[in-house]
Structure 1
Amino acid sequence: MKPTHIADRRAREELSRLLERFARRRRPIRVVKKSEYWHQRAAGAALWAVTFGGQNKYLTHYVTTLGHTIYVPDDFDGWEPTRALEILRHEAVHVAQFERYGWVVMVLFYGVLPLPMGLAWFRARFEWEAYEETLRAVAEIEGLAAARAPALRAEIVRRFTGPDYGWMWPFPRTVERWIDEALVRIEGELARKAPSTPSADTL
């Protein structure tokens, strides 16, 4: 695992570059405060109701992407750069999904089909694509050991199987398998990107 100060410095630089890329896109990506928008406040209340209080931190702890807008909690500017970068990379995947599939497909397949709660296969697959990017970002910024950490694994499994996303995929072993497969791919990517070490006869 990289030393914390090195990871934070690199994350701060990467975060600045990512926000610049967001702003320069043909369709810029906006990062705005969630509580300033009535529809996000309404969504928070609705989620609290349908999850019987299980999702009670929608406005204060969670980031949401709709189209080309990323809605963040009010304290987002004070987040550690590593955390902010990893989450924005996750959310950028959702922006790409909106661009690929359009609003109608995203709303129907993410929110409704095949079931809105309990067995939301499409929501799980959309989220898995984004969580794989989360693992990739953690591995690149904090190191592969951090991406393999049991605590991160448990948190991802909890989110898929718990009330955060409406119990979207209640099969933890499936999520565990997705994580294992992703980590193998990510480790291979990092190995290919790593500079080769000169052999002894070339020194």
Structure 2
Amino acid sequence: MSCVHASQSSTGHPHTDCNAFINHNSGCGITEWSRASYGPFFDVQGGGVFAMKWDENDISVWSFYRAAVPRDIVDGTPNPSEWGIPSARLHSSQCDIGKYFANHSIIFDITFWDWAGNSYATSGCPGTCEERLMDPKNFENASWSINSLKVYRKQLVAGDISPVSAAAPSAVLNLSGGVALLATFLGALAL
């Protein structure tokens, strides 16, 4: 079984089947509806925040242009349940997240020609990737700024309370749990 996006649970347009052998290695990408999430429109907005929540229920991604960054992110107390519908969401009912996703790496990379090979054609950018890369004028004012990267881990707690002894009114909390991940990225890319 491969993972399948539930398009009704996100605002982006998904490639619904994540099986790399079926879709020419483009994976389960999402085409973001907002052109303000990258390129010149992103730059004009002063950059923005990309946030990902990954737990046993789903992997969800949001993008916010600078003026629309939720206050809880700015304050360092992120609450994804307040952010509305994510741009991309892979729910556990369509994918065994624990089976297919592990050892997550956050990679900052400018990969020309895209490692998946097919993203440029659907990006809305003019011409072909080859034409853009062959023109040195496209790199005269190139810059990339990362203001911060924050990773929040939430310890999920489960357990029981056992009395230490009948004589002492104290207790021991026996815990077990998992980890939820929330990463926020604030930056700008100008080409």
Structures share a fold, TM > 0.5?
no
- Highest Rg: 1 or 2? 2
Query: Taking CA–CA contacts closer than 8 Å with sequence separation of 6 or more, which of the two structures ends up with the larger relative contact order?
Result: 2
